[in-house]
Structure 1
Amino acid sequence: MLSHSGASLQDRLRQLPSVDQLLKHPDIHELLSNVPRKIVVESLREVVEEARRQLLSSQEDPLPPVPSISELVQRASALCAQKNAFTLQPLVNATGIVVHTNLGRSLLAEEALQRLQVVCRTYSNLEYDLVNGRRGSRYVHAEAILREITGAEAALVVNNNASAVLLVLNTLAKGQEVIVSRGQLVEIGGSFRIPDVMAASGAILREVGCTNRTHLYDYERAIGEHTRLLMKVHCSNYRLVGFTAEVALEDLVRLARRHNLLVMEDLGSGSLVDIASVGLPQEPTAQHAVRAGVDVVTFSGDKLLGGPQAGIILGRKEIIALCKKNPLTRALRVDKMTLAALEATLRLYRDEPTAWRRIPTLAMIARPLESLKDQALRLAQRIQEAVGAPFMSVQVVESFSQVGGGALPERNVPTFAVAVSSKPWSANQLEKFLRANSPPIIGRIESDRFLMDVRTLQEGDPDIIVQAFARLKTEELR
């Protein structure tokens, strides 16, 4: 290890400016106009202390020079920006996954965004009955429109679909048996499993059938004196193919009626329109479940429905009334922002063509292939012009999008993507560079190419992408 004279080291340490000195720098004065003083002072202390540590631990001889005041101010400014940045930030979704759980799921319609601003900037009648001049219920704001669209007798909104399932089971079947097909005991996001949610609710799980095949007689044989509920879970996040069988919802309802039992269906992603109309496989809708006579239906608000995060419960009046009285409802209730955005989204479903146009989730799913190809060609040309380098290959390729959110896991939706590859840099380096962009650009890697699926690009995203690639001329990828 190299040694330094004590005097030389002490001289260097004494040359370090104090925090007070740095606070007088003009750039810091400007910084204080935008960043809280506490954060600025903390950042200055940290950069000075880091410079001190580097001097004390240095093995160079002679010692490295002391950072200048300008350099320390620059470091502190960068640290302030990092400390003052929001952790939740917008980004460019170029993955082609429409309902991307990691990227915020469904985008809200413009009507929902406008309604949020109206409701959140003023007081509202969230829990106030304007007709009778007394306390009211927050749940009336979404219930009427849900009943109108689905035909259900009553409705209740909680904070997500797992909460909806938990609340219904705890209300209707605590301490009693719930019969579920073994093939429907799915695991949802975050490693939460239907059996775990059921256990937390206090209901007793009774599995029937085999993983791939369950018949009506399996349910009937399992019915006993402690049975309360027959439950059907839509396996929206996986599919069994081949030698399979499951019981139709209508048959399950008829069986339940013969034995004076209740039927519940967890639709998972949930849908209020027939997505087969745009060439995708048939998905059960909430309206179908209601017409089939199911006693209670649950599904998500921020997946195929295209609204905010919410768990929607539809059912008979007496069942919804019981759920509302359950103390868990208080813990699982939604706020005014969720109700405002959800009601505005649901109103678009009054006219199905309008819903397909105005709700971003549906509009992205239904985008014509030719439109996607045209957009991909334009983006590829702009990137090539921005980079202006022969070593960068920019191509438009046929690819596949996904609906996401656990919906249609086996169905790839044809799309077009812009594929970028380069000899100096790997696809992983390109991905890291674009992910570090402000705002971040998130795509996917295939065959050592960085792919950007245009299906999920929003207005302004192509400009952000082109600007990021233009920076490749001056910045080195690491």
Structure 2
Amino acid sequence: MSNGTENTGAEAGNVEAGAIRLPAVHLLLSDPACAELIAEYGRVQTLETARLLLAELRSLMLASRRDGAAMQAAPDIPAVLTQLRERLRANNRSPLRPVFNLTGTVLHTNLGRALLPDAAVQAVTEALRWPMNLEWDIETGKRGDRDNLIEELLLELTGAEAATIVNNNAAAVLLMLNTIAQGKEVIVSRGELVEIGGAFRIPDIMTRAGAVLREVGSTNRTHLKDYAEAAGPQTALMMKVHCSNYAITGFTKSVELPELAPLAKKAGVPLAVDLGSGTLVDLEQYGLPHETTVRETIAGGADLVTFSGDKLLGGPQCGIIVGRADLIAQIKKNPLKRALRVGKLTLAALEPVLALYRAPDLLPERLTTLRLLTRPASAMHALAQEIAPLMQAALGAQYQVQSEAMMSQIGSGALPVDQLPSYGLVIRANVDKAAGKNAGQRTSNPLGALEQRLRALPVPVIGRVAQDALWLDLRCLDEHQRQRFIDQLALLRA
């Protein structure tokens, strides 16, 4: 853009480069069909994108002429406007997009973990549109504490004395350790020094928090006496960590909370438990494997408990710390608390999710995460039988689509060895490998090509490849997503 005008030099009529003539920018922008683009994307962006597009087209045509290829006719105004429309649409498409999670992992970290229930979605929408009493006490007319918005609910559901919220569970652990144990020792079993997604390691977070890790026991066996012998003047905290994403079996021994709590009390140090994926209800009542609840952990003698909001709890991303009132008060005074605090949108989403737990009998139908985890295999089976022939018609003879039983998993470190019976589509490629070898050619990767085609759909479809097949688990294809999924199958035929 030389001087802010749109009609300069070679752009006065048609852009000319040797024998190549392209529409001028001012002719493109004055075309009635371009008015819609200017109205949607603005004149400045449309002009700049048009100039870049014309420059690319000119370069391609010149390169073709230099290579001795047959001269292509320059595109006319409608053809260029079509490309301009696609370019503007692509440039303005958000990188954060909805996808169909058909991986079989319900709480998929890379796909955003828990889906929020309608009550939380509505509350967030309201918080986006209005100023909120985030740190304002309406009754007194004075400044308040944002934790107060959800603390009463958390205490009711967990049995703790106090609570505070930060932006994720890693932050909760960091803040807790930095507050309680900076410069002092924290006793942890070697079998609980876990690493979870994103290379988050307990020893590393100890270092960042300024605490000194005191390992006890061995990888597979830790006894109460190991903790007792390690406790001393430099001990600030005893800590147990949920073994996310793995399980140790065989010749093992660990010290359970009711056994460790009296020792911590005798030693005069707090006992903290990082539950990771914390649940507020006994999942067994819904036909799922048992996972220790936050209330059970508090009742078992833990002084502090940290857990996630966007895993089994089914809420927004956040880290929750509950426990003794005096310890929570110390944590809230730490300057790091302000750096790690959550905003009004997180609190707006969390409060209605917590409120759902007041009616545990209605939870499976109201809490999205629990509804997906408790879906019967028969529901996915019926859906697979409906979609399989539609998928087969869309893919053609190159692939074989079958409705088959499979196993889902909860994900995000929750119950890592437990699986849920499910149903979905299994897609295999009809490839004559022998013919390819006889011809001395390497066979292509049709499953990889299909994966790419599914990801290129308006709403990308994410599955998993295993055993020479593409598996699409339908557990997370909810009823309100079903028709949208079916409608875009026709695009696979192109």
TM-score band (shorter)?
over 0.9
Q: Letter of the aligned partner of 1:199 in structure 2? A: T
Is the CA contact (8 Å cut-off) linking 1:157 and 1:333 kept in structure 2? yes
Aligned-pair CA distance for 1:252? 1.2
- 1:12 match: 19
Change (3 A) 1:441 1:382: same
Q: How does 1:25-424 map to 2 (within 5 A)?
A: 25-58=31-64, 59-60=67-68, 63-384=71-392, 386-387=393-394, 389=396, 392-423=399-430
Aligned-pair CA distance for 1:395? 1.6
Distance 2:416 2:404 in 1: 22
Change (3 A) 1:267 1:61: closer
- 1:3 match: none
Aligned-pair CA distance for 1:223? 1.2
Change (3 A) 1:61 1:456: closer
Distance 2:133 2:313 in 1: 25
The gaps in structure 1 that reach 5 residues or longer are 1-8
- 2:474 match: 454
Deviations 1:218-271 (A, max 9, x none): 111111210110000001221111111110011111111111111000000111
Is the CA contact (8 Å cut-off) linking 2:17 and 2:58 kept in structure 1? no
Local SS of the residue matching 1:450: strand
Range that drifts further, 454-463 or 341-350: 454-463
1:437 matched to 2:444? The reply is no
What count of residue pairs does the alignment treat as equivalent?
464
Change (3 A) 1:291 1:192: same
Is the CA contact (8 Å cut-off) linking 1:12 and 1:65 kept in structure 2? no
Distance 2:397 2:74 in 1: 43
Q: Letter of the aligned partner of 2:61 in structure 1? A: L
Q: Letter of the aligned partner of 2:410 in structure 1? A: V
Is the CA contact (8 Å cut-off) linking 2:397 and 2:430 kept in structure 1? no
Is the CA contact (8 Å cut-off) linking 1:154 and 1:320 kept in structure 2? yes
Distance 2:457 2:315 in 1: 28
Deviations 1:264-283 (A, max 9, x none): 00000111112233444321
Deviations 1:26-65 (A, max 9, x none): 2221111212333222221111111222233331255433
Aligned-pair CA distance for 1:391? 5.5
Range that drifts further, 296-305 or 350-359: 350-359
Local SS of the residue matching 1:106: coil
Distance 2:96 2:295 in 1: 35
Local SS of the residue matching 2:371: helix
Q: Letter of the aligned partner of 1:121 in structure 2? A: R
Local SS of the residue matching 1:255: helix
Deviations 1:319-353 (A, max 9, x none): 11111111111001111111111010000111212
Local SS of the residue matching 1:343: helix
Local SS of the residue matching 2:370: helix
Aligned-pair CA distance for 1:24? 1.6
Change (3 A) 1:444 1:62: closer
Local SS of the residue matching 1:211: coil
Distance 2:397 2:192 in 1: 53
Deviations 1:144-179 (A, max 9, x none): 100011110000011100000011111111101001
Change (3 A) 1:368 1:463: same
Range that drifts further, 390-399 or 234-243: 390-399
Aligned-pair CA distance for 1:409? 1.6
Normalising by structure 1, we get a TM-score of 0.93
Q: Letter of the aligned partner of 2:159 in structure 1? A: G
Distance 1:174 1:181 in 2: 19
Distance 1:178 1:163 in 2: 17
Distance 1:356 1:380 in 2: 28
Is the CA contact (8 Å cut-off) linking 1:426 and 1:448 kept in structure 2? no
Distance 2:331 2:395 in 1: 62
Is the CA contact (8 Å cut-off) linking 1:12 and 1:66 kept in structure 2? no
Aligned-pair CA distance for 1:84? 0.8
RMSD between superposed Cα atoms in Å: 1.8
Local SS of the residue matching 2:417: coil
Is the CA contact (8 Å cut-off) linking 1:400 and 1:412 kept in structure 2? yes
Local SS of the residue matching 2:165: strand
Change (3 A) 1:70 1:12: farther
1:426 matched to 2:433? The reply is no
Distance 1:422 1:465 in 2: 21
Aligned-pair CA distance for 1:375? 2.3
Deviations 1:173-210 (A, max 9, x none): 11010011111111121112111111111111111111
Aligned-pair CA distance for 1:412? 2.1
Q: Letter of the aligned partner of 1:393 in structure 2? A: Q
Is the CA contact (8 Å cut-off) linking 2:380 and 2:422 kept in structure 1? yes
Local SS of the residue matching 2:271: strand
Is the CA contact (8 Å cut-off) linking 1:268 and 1:300 kept in structure 2? yes
Range that drifts further, 368-377 or 58-67: 58-67
Is the CA contact (8 Å cut-off) linking 1:170 and 1:201 kept in structure 2? yes
Aligned-pair CA distance for 1:382? 4.1
Change (3 A) 1:449 1:460: farther
Is the CA contact (8 Å cut-off) linking 1:182 and 1:208 kept in structure 2? yes
Distance 1:177 1:292 in 2: 23
Aligned-pair CA distance for 1:392? 4.6
Distance 1:419 1:60 in 2: 48
Q: Letter of the aligned partner of 1:305 in structure 2? A: L
> Identity of aligned pairs, percent?
45
